[in-house]
Amino acid sequence: MDKVYKVIEVVGCSAKSYQDAIQNAVTEASKTLTGLAWFEVKEMRGGLKEGKITEYQAIIKLGFRLIED
């Protein structure tokens, strides 16, 4: 059986780590999307205040399978 996927981009944020930022993005997306199959980290960045890291941000691509009715 052939498969077809749709790809979207989301940004996850965390005060703790990039790993948590990625997980937060996947967790929130899974609340409204079904068939999530993979992710790809596109970009990592963060927020700074007075020379300290205040936020980790991860832009990820999420792939989910298109399901026929």
- CA gyration radius for the chain? 14
Structural domains in the chain (count):
1
Task: Identify the CATH number of the domain in which residue 22 sits.
Answer: 3.30.1660.10
The whole model's pTM is what? Answer: 0.87
Q: Which residue range is the domain that position 36 belongs to?
A: 5-65
Q: In this structure, which long-range contacts are made by residues 24-30, counting pairs with CB atoms below 8 Å and at least 24 apart in sequence?
A: 25/58, 25/60, 25/62, 26/60, 26/62, 29/62
Which pLDDT score is estimated for 2?
A: 80
67: Cβ contacts below 8 Å, ≥ 6 apart: 34, 35
Would you write out the chain's pLDDT as a tens digit for each of its 69 residues? Answer: 688 889 999 999 999 999 999 999 999 999 999 889 999 999 999 999 999 999 999 999 999 998 766
